[in-house]
Each structure stands twice: as structure tokens, then as C-alpha cells.
Amino acid sequence: MLNILALRDRDARVLVAVAYQPIASGSVLTREMIRLVPVDAGFAALGTMVTEDRLDESIGSVVVRSVPRDAVIDLASLAPADSGSGKRLMSVAVEESRAAGGMLVPGDRVDVIAVLDGRPVFVVAGAEVVAVPERGSGALGRESFGVVLAVDADEALALARAMAEGRIDLVRSTGAPEVGAVADGTGS
């Protein structure tokens, strides 16, 4: 593993954060969870890691991908705890084919659609994509796609209900008109 090779370099000059213990997805990163380990300053992937100079801004972030003990904590495994909007962060697991083909990136806006009581409805409209942390094999070999959305309390409950009752679709709506303004009038 490339990270292990970099960590073994005795001439290292930059300190990077590694997990002192396994860190579960959804945890809030604290100083007690990490230790700093020296890495060669010329290591190519250094820009993707939480370094000592990025530590203060990383503490308090939400870990969006589980980090094993002694693994380097990379920036992609963290998301802001709160965007300042008062929204909550909610993780949504969905098949990649039902999430704009897996082309979602942080900053995108999405509408969440589900079929509830036999009728398609917009469950959430215009939710911000905060993180797209990981992909993995889902049921029947389909790609599962983890997406972290910023939602308010009511949207979180509606989304939880929709996920419990069946499949959901994430529709990339960045730059699109608001749902209430769609031509067929079936908005939320």
C-alpha cells in the first residue's frame, strides 16, 4: 500500500494525521482519534492528506468514510459538520444508476424522487450534495453509491420514510428551475 511506504520514510518532514483507532463513518473527528506521523515532504499524494497545517480546520468535520486504525486520514473522507445553513447532513445509499449515473459531485443540487402510495413524488427538492464518499458493491452486484446531503429536519424525516418504503432516485438539479416551477405542475 502506497500510504504505508510513505509512512516508513525516516527522512520525513511533514506530519500527517492517521487514525489512532478505527473511526466509524458518521463520527465527528476529534484530536483524540488521531496521531501525527512524519511523511516525506515530496510524497506525491500529500495534497490529499490531512497534514498538521490542515489539522485545525479538519477537527470537528464529519467522517464520511470509515477509517481503519493506522490509516492516513485523507481530505476526501471528511465533510463539514455544518455548512452554516442550519441543515443536517444525511447519508443516502443509492444504486449508482439511480444517482445521475454516479456523476454527482459536492456542490451539486439534487431532487430526491420516490414512489409513495403508488405515486411518484418529489421527497426533497434542491438538496445540496455535501460529499460523495465511497462506492461499493451492492445487492445483485449493482454499484451502491454513498451521497451525503444537507437537509432540514422535515426533509430528513421524509427522506428516511422514502428510503424505508422503497427505492429512491437522485436527480441532478443544479441550475434547474425549482420543482414547483416545472411545466407539468406535479411539483412538491
122 with 74, same domain? no
User: What is residue 9's predicted lDDT score, i.e. its pLDDT?
Assistant: 45
Domain that residue 153 falls in: 88-181
Whether 19 maps to a domain, the answer reads yes
pTM: 0.56
- Residue 20 corresponds to which cell in the numbers above? 489512532
95 with 62, same domain? no
The CATH number given to whatever domain includes residue 72 is: 3.90.1210.10
User: What is residue 181's predicted lDDT score, i.e. its pLDDT?
Assistant: 38
- Phi, psi for 71 (deg, rounded to 5): -85, 145
On whether the CB atoms of residues 156 and 164 are closer than 8 A, the answer is no
Burial readout 97-123 (b: 16 or more C-beta within 10 A, e: otherwise): ebbbeeebeeebbbbbbbeeeeeeebb
94 with 174, same domain? yes
137 with 167, same domain? yes
Q: How many domains does the chain have?
A: 2
Pick the last residue of a domain from 29, 49, 79.
79
Bridge partners (DSSP) of residue 120 are 115
Whether 187 maps to a domain, the answer reads no
173 with 92, same domain? yes
Per-residue pLDDT of the chain (188 residues; tens, 9 = 90+): 445 555 554 565 799 999 999 988 777 899 999 999 998 888 888 888 999 999 999 998 888 777 899 999 988 888 777 655 667 888 888 888 888 888 888 889 999 999 888 889 999 999 988 878 655 444 434 455 678 888 888 999 999 999 888 889 999 998 888 886 333 334 44
114 with 151, same domain? yes
- Residue 92 corresponds to which cell in the numbers above? 443516502
Whether 37 maps to a domain, the answer reads yes
- Residue 159 corresponds to which cell in the numbers above? 427522506
- Residue 158 corresponds to which cell in the numbers above? 421524509
On whether the CB atoms of residues 45 and 6 are closer than 8 A, the answer is yes
Task: Collapse the DSSP code of 98 into the 3-class scheme (helix H, G, I; strand E, B; otherwise coil) and give the result.
Answer: helix
The span from the CA of 66 to the CA of 142, in Å, is 21
Report the sign of the C-alpha dihedral through residues 55, 59, 64, 68, in that order: positive
- Residue 111 corresponds to which cell in the numbers above? 431532487
Pick the last residue of a domain from 61, 79, 97.
79
